[in-house]
Amino acid sequence: MGPELDTARSSRSQRSLEASAHIKREALAFLADSGADLMSTKSLAERSGISTGPIYARYDIIEDLVLDLWVETLHAEFLSILSLIRNAVNENATEREELARLLHTPSTKAQAIVEVLSVMRRYPQLLERVGFDIGRAFSDHLHAQAKVAPSLALAQCTVTFGAIFLQPIMGPDKTDRWMGSLSLLASAGRDELARQEPPRSIESPAVAVPIIATGDVVVDEFITAAMTVIARVGYENATSTRIARIAGRGFSTIYNHYGTKEELMIAAVKSLIEQNIQMSFEGFAGLPRDEYITRSVGNALSVVSDLNRESRQLRIEALTSGRHHPEIASFASQGYQAMYESLREGIRQRAGDQAEGILSRVPPLWLLLRSNNIGMSLLANACSIPREIDWTPACASLYGLIGEIRSGS
């Protein structure tokens, strides 16, 4: 074999490696920005500035490419974030600041991770591999913090990944607020009284899919059908044909009410987001300690239980669509803001002259609870650990944090 042939083969091999690296870089950015459902071979080729051939030569389906990104890049990043979390809540000031910055401005890899978490249940290869990796990582995370109650150690993760997931919808919250939130998480982990709280043995409350009652039977049937399809295949894959089949009507009958399929879909997603918002902050103020803990445990179980898998999937898919569509994000953001204002008004009514002092200390806790709710849903779809642990210590600790905010300590 002559040197010229060796050089030619080496050059071809190098070009192939460079092409593969280019495809993966562009796919990672695409996944973080727009999600797996919008990524096709054609759309990725257009974004990458190449023909579809090099992608088809390496991947039969987009799921294979996303799985490669997980195995080669995102799994290691996931473990790195868990390590950062542990250090941040264990009084490492530098890494607490680093985590606060990540929650303020999530990296491309972090955004790609939550995109994988949001859709993995619909992709068999992702569900098997990513689910295994995440389950093992969380088990190691809990064991690495033997003095922290498992539910509190897991709450560190639900808050982190929930915050990353919501950031494109809510916009960046102030870094110093996240520093305050992380300080609360650290305080919760040291709450020995919460750790010793007797487990609450209660049945997981059922959470029904939203019931639509607009007064128009056709509209109600189509919105309900759209929600059913979204739960099964996601917002981007919910076609007019699928919706009409579930509704048992021709799709043209809905055009008297909604000009396009997208308008109908937005109406359905709004109903889902309204339910999610209503569930997210129940019982913050005014309940006795025991009743608050019991109700909070029930709420946690309702989020992670297999009994409520359909409503959980609807919640995830609704907010995932908000990550990619500004009109849905705007509605979700307004809804969360309305809930926050309702919370503030409730505090004013209960606290009287002390309200303003309490309100100034509420935002970091609000960030925790807002993020934890969707983070629990994401992680419950990814692995079984959220369904296997006792959530009592986390709920008891939350009550303690509320007490700290009330007292100003």
Cα–chain center distance at 135: 16
Whether the CA torsion 383, 386, 387, 389 is positive or negative: it is positive
User: Both 287 and 396 in a single domain?
Assistant: yes
User: Mean pLDDT: which of 150-164, 190-204, 354-368 is highest?
Assistant: 150-164
User: Residues 311, 338: one domain?
Assistant: yes
Same domain, 275 and 166: yes
Range of the domain at 181: 70-209+267-407
**Which has the minimum average pLDDT: 31-35, 226-230, 389-393, 397-401?**
397-401
Neighbours of 65 (CB within 10 A): 23
Residues 50, 94 within the same domain: no
* Same domain? 141 vs 10: no
60-74, 83-97, 279-293, 354-368: which has the highest mean pLDDT?
60-74
Q: Please report whether residue 397 resides in a domain.
A: yes
Same domain, yes or no: 153 and 34: no
Does residue 63 lie within any of the structural domains?
A: no
- Residue 237, in any domain of the structure: no
Which pLDDT band, with edges at 50, 70 and 90, does 181 fall under?
very high
Q: Structural domain tally of the chain?
A: 2
The verdict on residue 64 lying in a domain is no
Q: What is the mean pLDDT of residues 78-94?
A: 93
Structural domain includes residue 7: yes
Report yes or no on 225 lying in a domain: no
Q: Are residue 314 and residue 190 in the same domain, yes or no?
A: yes
Task: Tell whether 179 and 296 lie within a shared domain.
Answer: yes
Residue range 248-307, pLDDT digits in tens: 988 888 887 888 877 887 887 777 766 665 655 444 456 788 888 998 899 899 999 998
Residues 348 and 351: their CA atoms lie apart, in Å, by 5
Asked if 37 and 120 sit in the same domain, the reply is no
170 and 129 in one domain? yes
Q: Is residue 316 part of a domain?
A: yes
Q: What is the pTM of this model?
A: 0.91
Q: What is the CATH number of the domain that holds 21?
A: 1.10.10
The confidence score (pLDDT) of residue 5 equals 45
If one compares 173 and 4, the residue with the highest pLDDT of the two is: 173
Q: CA 207 → CA 82, 95, 287, 304, 335, distances in Å?
A: 30, 38, 22, 11, 20
Domain assignment present for 299: yes
Measured over the CA atoms of residue 351, residue 353, residue 359 and residue 365, the dihedral's sign is negative
Name the CA dihedral angle for 295, 182, 172, 357, rounded to a multiple of 10 degrees: 70
Indicate whether 26 and 138 sit together in one domain.
Answer: no
Q: Are residues 45 and 77 in the same domain?
A: no
